[in-house]
Amino acid sequence: MKLSNYKALTFDVYGTLIDWETGIVEGLSPLVEKVERELSRDEILEAHARHESTHQRYTPAKRYQALLPVVYRRLAEEWGVSVRWDECLAYGQSVKNWPAFPDSANALQYLKKHFKLVVLTNVDNDSFKYSNEKLNVEFDGVYSAEDIGSYKPFDRNFDYLIEMISSIGITKDQILHTAESMFHDHVPANKHGLTSCHIYRRFDKQGFGATMTPEVMPTYEFKFNSMADLVKAHQKELENE
């Protein structure tokens, strides 16, 4: 199997292209500073994953900017901290400050020359606008949870992806779904018959960080520790043709 067999790369953004774990930890720092006991980075991320996933299931149509304040309040309650609602709302606006991984923009600019690039993201359109500025590429399709009315890993998000991408001339067998999260992306990609590529951003860390642990580990066709490594593999393929 070769990367060049595919015509479109469909991307998870947060955790794959945007360093959302750094963004989450920095965004939660005003809350964490009030907690009486010391919280490890992974403890913060794993608690965030639990509350985020729960509220995405119970309120699938809620925009991500509106969902994050609720997550913030639930974390404050869990950690025994009092917060004002305006503090919760400020966290909902923090996505615009989440940094891109250093290799993302250059990798995307290279890949744009060889593939259609499409986003399937759990954030709202306004939040993604700020992230897209950091990625510095024009995507051929942007499909957000706000557009779809639910969050990954719900089936409808991937059904929507497959149906909408057909409008730009891409069939399911021509898609390589490219993502970090096993829970949000690789498990449902398997279920929907999509080939996937694991960008293992947490290769030097334990656990699943800001994503839930999948009940069953999925399979994937390709695995790289960074977007830069994906680009190198594609370049090597072209050199060997």
In order of start, what are the domains of the chain with their CATH numbers?
3-20+98-239 (3.40.50.1000), 21-96 (1.10.150.750)
Percentage of the chain beyond pLDDT 90 is: 99
The pLDDT of residue 129 is above 90: yes
The pLDDT of residue 135 is above 90: yes
User: Per residue in 69-79, pLDDT tens?
Assistant: 999 999 999 99
Closest CA to 136 of 18, 12, 7: 18
Residue at 83: amino acid letter: V
Ramachandran region of residue 172, left (φ > 0), alpha (ψ -120 to 50) or beta? alpha
- Read off the pLDDT of each residue in 85-107 and give the average, rounded to a whole number: 98
- Catalytic positions, written as ranges: 12
The pLDDT of residue 241 is above 90: no
pLDDT at residue 240, rounded to an integer: 87
Cis amide bond preceding 214, omega within 30 = no
The pLDDT of residue 181 is above 80: yes
User: Per residue in 197-235, pLDDT tens?
Assistant: 999 999 999 999 999 999 999 999 999 999 999 999 999
pLDDT at residue 1, rounded to an integer: 82
User: Across all residues in the chain, what is the average pLDDT?
Assistant: 97
The pLDDT of residue 189 is above 90: yes
Q: Give pairs for 201-207: CB < 8 Å, separation 24+.
A: 201/15, 201/16, 201/19, 201/101, 201/225, 201/226, 205/42, 206/42, 207/42, 207/46
User: Per residue in 141-167, pLDDT tens?
Assistant: 999 999 999 999 999 999 999 999 999
- Read off the pLDDT of each residue in 18-41 and give the average, rounded to a whole number: 97
